[in-house]
Amino acid sequence: MSIISVIGGTGMLGAPVAKQLKADGYQVRIISRNSQKAKEQLGGDFEYRQADLQDVSSLRLALAGSDCVHINASGQSKKSYYQNHVVGTRNILAALQGQSLTAISMISTASAYPEYDDRWDNRYKLEAEALLKESGHPYLVFMPSWFMESLPLFQQKNKLIHIGPSTQPIHWLSAKDYAKTVSNALQDNSCRNLRMPIYGPEGITMKEAVNRYAKVAQLTVQTMPVWLAKTLGFILRDESLIDAADLMKHYDRIGEQAISHAVRTETKLDQWLGQVL
């Protein structure tokens, strides 16, 4: 049985991938900074190894014997995003030196294109991707649009905060559909050395998606113009609010690229709302 290591396998998006890979017959190794906590979360069906993206020797021990590696890194700030994506990917590749892999894959985003590198998240995704390409390992870069699972993250107390206007349609997808796409692609040896945009079935604006989620979750929506979110962020010294406002502004400007070859997932927003709420 092939061993696949999932770095970030405890995450909101990494955990569904780990579960799908297990269901599809892989021996799945969860790489986490805290194996005990990871096991409490995910149970006994997985192998667990403790490692930190900032520590090559821990990664070397954790990844030894892997046939395949999937990276689901995140980052809470510009600095940690850089550390986890660029330095982390460099460290993973150093740790894998001398090992032969069937594939190494990473989660990127649907907006990771050089023309959008005014946003640091896109820039760091592209840098991490370049490292995979240079590594010589067969690679895969998944480029999902926005996840439906992000909608609850806009909740503050009993309100959903919508930073707008957000008029561009977004092809929302579910983490479960994403996980199936990742597993299918990793099992298919013809799916290598490529970037794979993944879009949900319908184009729905952020405003509409937030309103639909709020209605089902019985929450109220507070819309905040971008300028106000930024101003509040500066006053409160809240970097994540400033960044969220900048991201919404950026998305309103660029929208999603129309990609005819994008993988299309099936679950619609209303179906997902019916399943999770």
Interactions with ligand NAP, residue window 36-65 (CB under 6 A): 38, 52-54
Least CB distance from residue 235 to ligand NAP, whole Å?
26
Per-residue binding letters, 171-190, with ligand NAP (x by CB under 6 A): --------------------
Number of residues in contact with ligand NAP under rule CB under 6 A: 24
- Pick the stretch among 71-79, 90-98, 186-194, 230-238 that binds ligand NAP (CB under 6 A): 71-79
Q: Which of 24, 27, 33, 259 binds ligand NAP (CB under 6 A)?
A: 33
Q: Does 11 bind ligand NAP (CB under 6 A)?
A: yes
Q: Which of 18, 19, 28, 32 binds ligand NAP (CB under 6 A)?
A: 32
Least CB distance from residue 266 to ligand NAP, whole Å?
18
- Pick the stretch among 26-34, 200-208, 221-229, 248-256 that binds ligand NAP (CB under 6 A): 26-34
Q: Which of 5, 20, 84, 267 binds ligand NAP (CB under 6 A)?
A: 84
Whole-angstrom distance, CA of residue 36 vs CA of residue 34 = 6
Whole-angstrom distance, CA of residue 16 vs CA of residue 219 = 26
- Pick the stretch among 6-14, 93-101, 162-170, 251-259 that binds ligand NAP (CB under 6 A): 6-14
Choose among 46, 37, 39, 38: nearest CA to 18.
46
Interactions with ligand NAP, residue window 93-122 (CB under 6 A): 107, 109
Residue nearest to ligand NAP (CB): 11
The alpha-carbon radius of gyration of the chain (Å, integer) is 19
Residue (141 or 226) nearer to ligand NAP, CB: 141
Length of the chain: 277
Residues that bind ligand NAP (CB under 6 A): 7-8, 10-14, 32-34, 38, 52-54, 72-74, 84, 107, 109, 144, 146-147, 150
